[in-house]
Each structure stands twice: as structure tokens, then as C-alpha cells.
Chain A
């Protein structure tokens, strides 16, 4: 009887009911983000593309965040140059390059009351960079170091503390270079005793000579993923320009990888996040900035799948595990902050010269 009634009920299902059921079941299969009302377009470094970071914001605000990743401020400006005004809402940019973005008129002022940097590491608030004429244009979200990453089972860790030994004959052919001209030129400059702020057209020949020596000892020059892969797979034993952003993310699987700030010093990278001036969705963009700089967003950003880095907000430490903090060297930050310099901030002409030298180095 029950079988019979069951079959009868199947037969009497109307096409309309079937269609509704189909639509409902399909709607269940569509990610909630696809049904969202708003969209936010963000130009970011790859660490922001981690679903674990973005999804909570999307769900909480019923919004779809479209992310376009890039490497290097030049690349970002190139993308913006080729976009229409209003295409981008949020911009993640190297901290030292915020003034350049402000000067280009692409960042919007963020009302002071909307951001709270009281719990940030004071050294990375970088007010001089993130503000202009008393107006806030960006806020630091993450920082770390471009130094020397290495495989401690294959090289002498003591050698890694001296930059001149890193690209000596001893390690020739076992070195990779991170393919970003600013930090590596800065690092090579430090090796030659030139502070990043003192790099000029006059001392570039010295840096060029050292850079070419480094290239002669290296095996490859790679972006974030390929240089990280080369170190992780044993293709190379040393990564110049690496740091916690390379090794910390692999700390559980590859405990043989380590990093150090050499005695000559290291470079401190920092990312700032701001809202685009032509954004059509500024309120939501500010909300996104607030989320990223909140302890929750900061903890997720610090341990993002693409690369790890120190959160600017100290409160994120409460949400990180002891192992994560150890991999980030949380307790060593006062020492590291003291022994690191910011990226060089070249003028347009010096930037052209640096990029010429970099391309020539690649071709050498």
C-alpha cells in the first residue's frame, strides 16, 4: 500500500513543483557568495586570497570579494593604469609606497574614527607613510623581513649570519633569488654597507657589482611561489630575499627550513591596506579594512596559506597558537625590528635605473 501510494505521489508531481524543487536544490548547490548582493574588488598580494581569511567577511556581510593578486608595486600600478576608475575598491600596497599612491591620487581618505591602531606594534604603524597632511590614507596590516632563508641541514647556519658568505663560492649554484628588485637590491646594498635610505644613482654601481656576483652564484630567480618551491623541494639550499614569509608557512612540514637576519641587517617589508578613491562601495571597503586589521582578520592574515607574516595588530597574538607564534618568531620582534631597515623608496629616475640593473642581472 505504501509502495502504491508512493508511486502515485511520484506520478502526480506537477512539472511546476519539479521545477521549483530543481531551482531550490540548485540554489543550495550555488555558493552563497554567488547569490550575494554586493561585490568588492580588491587588488592584493597573494596572502589575501586565502579562503579562510576572506570567507568569514563574505558571509558576515553577504558580499562577494573579488581578488586580483599581484607582486610588486610597479605591477599594481600597471594594473591600475590599465583599469577603469572605480574598478577597484581596496588596495593592498607596500607600506613604503603608500605616499606614491597618495601622490598619484588613487587612495581615499579614511576617517580617523574608523581605524584603531592603539594595539599595533608602534614601529609598524608608519604614520609618516600612511598619512598625508594629517589625513589617513592607509593602515599597516602585516609585516616581516626579506633576509636569508635556508635549509639548515644542508648549509652551515653560522655562514648565513654573514651576507658575504651566502654568495661565496662555497654555496655557488645552490642559491635562489627572490624576484623582487626592491628588497633584494636593498639587501645587497646592506651587504655592501649602504643603508636603504642612502641608495642613489652614485652608489648603484657598487650594488650592481654585488648583485651580479650574487647572480653568478645563484641557480634561479623566482617569484613567491617558485622560489618557495625551489627551497622546499631541495632544488636550492638558500633563498636570498626570503624570510619568515617563506619558511613559517612550511614550519610543520619542513622543520629543516630556517631563516636569519644577517649581521649586516635585513629588510623589513610591510603591507598597508587602503580604500581606492574612485571606489563605488567605500563603506563596504572600509568595513573590509576594519575586518583585516581586527584581531581575527589579523590572525588569519598572519597565517595565510600563501605566505605568513607578522600581524601589525599585537592582539592577534591571542588568537595564534604557540607553534604559530614560534614560527613567526613573535618573541624576537624587538631585536628584529631594531636590526632591519625599510625598503628603498626610489625616485622615478632611480627606480628606472634599479629596474634596468635588475633586468640586466637577469640577462647576465
Chain B
């Protein structure tokens, strides 16, 4: 058998292995995406979808302030949730990885992610009860005299952020913990040997080495948070809609699939930009 025919046979084999994944991606991502992109250029006339190639839906998005605001509200909530979740998850992951004895770490992790075991919807409704005027938080603050009138936390953007943070702290704790646990203790020893104190060791050695884990978790948080519809719908009280809520309004109430498709493309563009930013940053870390 010549080397050329061996190479050909290997290439054929490789394609055979890749083909199912490729077919899956084409069937369930590329084609639906192409269809959605094409539909986003259609329009809605007298409650009927008219297929055409115009930019009307995109122009509407940028000209109708309440649509554009949906994107800004989404970005605001997502960035806030990502930053707060990282700030809370990092110390938690660090405590589990560094301070909890090895044999208890698994149990500690299970405790940290225990809320994952509850339904996402049930958890959101539970937060609604906790944050309501007659809920645990208001009753506690009233009982100890910190406030004289109940705070209006439920049915607000604040409630949405709290619900999201509760969920994503768990996710980030896992990704950061898995990064921390893989770090060789020699890095720390070397830093101490070279005269660094605990803070300098953390800031100049541990943190940069765990940044890939933070970025992966942060990116996942960003993607899941910006596309979520349930938490804002339950906890936000329909005050200040995020973009997924506006997309649902187009689909659920107006059957306006072209506008919903255009808004979804905008949302995907935002996620792609976030991905490219993260990718670039991670590559910088690797060099």
C-alpha cells in the first residue's frame, strides 16, 4: 500500500469520525441559525409575515427606545451579576480548596452546590417569597429595627440580580475550585521563599494562575444570564424588561417571528463579542 493511499484512507477515516458531529452541528445549529437570520429580514404586515430582504426589524430595534433599552437592561444586569458572583464565589472556592481538609472538600462542595438540586423555577419563586414585603428579609429587618417600613425588593431589578447571583455563585465556585485545586503548592512555596507575603502571593501568583478558571466561569455566567427569561419574568415583576422577555413578547403575543428573530440575532452578536473578548484575553494569559 502506497503512502498516498494510506493517507487517503486515514483522511476518510477521520471524516467518518467527524461526520456525525458535523452533521449534528449543521442540522441543529447552522441551518436553524441561517433560517433565523433569513427570517429576521422578513416583515409583519397586517398580522401576516411577509418574506422579504429589508432591514426594518433592525432599524426598529435601534429606533424604538424601549427595544434598545431591553439590551441595556440585559447588559447592566448581566455585568452586575457576573462581577458580584465572581467576588462571592472566589473566596468560597478558595476556602473550600485551601482551608477545608481534603476529606471534607467533597462534602463542602456538595453543600455549596446543593441549591442546584432544586428546580430553577421553584428556586425563583422561593426567592419571591423571601424578598416579598411579608418575607423573611423584611420581617427580620423590621424586627431588629433597622427599617420601619418594608423594603420593596421583590418585583424589581434588584430581586432579579439576587436570584441570578444565588444561582451563578454555585457555578463559579465549581469552575474556580477546579482551577485552584490543580495549582501546585510549589508556586506558593516559591513565592514565600522569594519573600512575598500572603497578599503578594495571592495577587501576583495565585490570582493570575486562576484567571482562566474565573474567565471560563464568568463567560458561562454571562451567556446563561443574558439569555435567561425565567428569573427576570418571575422576580422582576415586569418592571424593566430584559431582551429575552421582549423576544418572548414578540413571539407570545404578536406572533411577530421576524422581530423576535432580529432581536435574537442581536443577542447572539452580543454573546459573540463577549466570547471574542474572553478568547483574546485567555490567549494573552497563555503566552
Contact = CB atoms under 8 A, between A and B. Distances in A.
A115 interface: no
Given A233-B132, A234-B134, A359-B246, A72 B253 contact: yes
Interface residues of B, number: 28
A78 B254 CA distance: 7
A222 B238 contact: yes
Nearest to B234: A226
Nearest to A347: B46
B133 interface: yes
Contact of A74 (B65, B69, B239, B252): B252
B249 interface: yes
Nearest to A364: B66
Contact of A220 (B69, B134, B238): B238
Contact of B241 (A72, A351, A362): A362
A226 B69 CA distance: 24
A81 interface: yes
B77 to A, nearest CB: 14
A77 B252 CA distance: 9
Interface string A77-106: 110011000000000000000000000000
B237 interface: yes
Interface residues of A, number: 30
A355 B65 CA distance: 14
B253 A219 contact: no
Contacts of B252: 74-75, 78
Contacts of A219: 152, 155, 237
Contact of B255 (A74, A173, A222, A363): A74
B133, B238, B239, B251 interface centre (most CB from chain A within 10 Å): B238
Contacts of A351: 47
Contact of B254 (A74, A222, A226): A74
Interface of A: 72, 74-75, 77-78, 81-82, 173, 179, 181, 219-222, 226, 230, 233-235, 348-349, 351-352, 355-356, 359-360, 362-364
Interface of B: 46-47, 64-66, 69-70, 73, 132-134, 152, 154-155, 234, 237-241, 246, 249, 251-255, 257
